[in-house]
């Protein structure tokens, strides 16, 4: 029994929960921050090719472009169209806080979801134009970006 739970703990990979991703997509500020992440060598592709819907980093723009056309990504978009699973939903299912639940549903339907939809359209247009002409041979990042990164690591006070 104990052995089982240790194994589970070790192999379980936490990805971002759908309700958090839903929140990201509902906010222009969060989308902008996720699209403009600082160079990070601990992340694939230095953190520059991120799929917000899937909370996943890619090595290259081309890999991201391929991913955006994949079944996995399209299924995720569909999943995110469903109302996110919130504490209010859980409480309502248990028979508590029904008023709070109804208010939350109204808020999602009238405010949050329309925002998310328009953000997603904007995001898609942005990525489509950014990745339109990208090729497999294109380097991950322009060389001067990489040079800047080296400089900022060596001389952090100059930033």
Binding residues for Zn ion, rule: CB under 5 A, are 51, 53-54, 73
**First-to-last C-alpha distance (Å) of the chain:** 52
Q: What's the min distance (Å) between Cβ of 54 and Zn ion?
A: 3
At closest approach, how far in Å is the CB of 122 from Zn ion? 16
Least distance CB 67 / Zn ion (angstroms): 5
Nearest to 120 by CA among 59, 63, 51, 64: 51
Q: Is the CB of 56 or the CB of 100 nearer to Zn ion?
A: 56
Q: Which two tokens stand for residue 11?
A: 């192999």
Nearer to Zn ion, 49 or 53 (CB): 53
Nearer Cβ to Zn ion (49/104): 49
Minimum distance between the CB of residue 89 and Zn ion, rounded to whole angstroms? 24
State the minimum distance, in angstroms, from the CB of residue 124 to Zn ion. Answer: 11
Question: In sequence order, what DSSP letters do the residues of 73-135 get, joined into one string?
Answer: HHHHHHHHHSPP--HHHHHHHTT--HHHHHHHHHHIIIIIHHHHHHHHHHHHHHHHHHHTT--
Residue pair 51/68 in contact (Cβ under 8 Å)? The answer is yes
- Residue closer to Zn ion (CB basis): 53 or 65: 53
- Residues 97 and 93: their CA atoms lie apart, in Å, by 9
| Nearer of residues 46 and 63 to Zn ion, judged by Cβ | 63
């Amino acid at each position: 029994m104990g052995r089982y739970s240790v194994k589970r703990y070790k192999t379980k990979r936490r990805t971002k929960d759908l309700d958090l991703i839903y929140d990201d997509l509902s906010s222009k500020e969060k989308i902008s921050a996720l699209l403009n992440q600082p160079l990070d060598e601990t992340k694939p592709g230095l953190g520059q090719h991120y799929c917000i819907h899937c909370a996943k980093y890619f090595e290259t723009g081309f890999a991201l472009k391929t991913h955006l056309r994949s079944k996995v990504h399209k299924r995720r978009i569909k999943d995110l169209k469903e109302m996110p699973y919130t504490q209010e939903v859980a409480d309502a299912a248990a028979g508590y806080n029904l008023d709070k639940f109804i208010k939350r549903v109204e808020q999602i339907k009238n405010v949050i979801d329309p925002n998310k939809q328009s953000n997603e359209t904007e995001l898609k247009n942005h990525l489509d134009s950014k990745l339109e002409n990208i090729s497999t041979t294109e380097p991950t990042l322009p060389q001067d970006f990489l040079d800047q990164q080296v400089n900022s690591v060596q001389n952090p006070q100059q930033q």
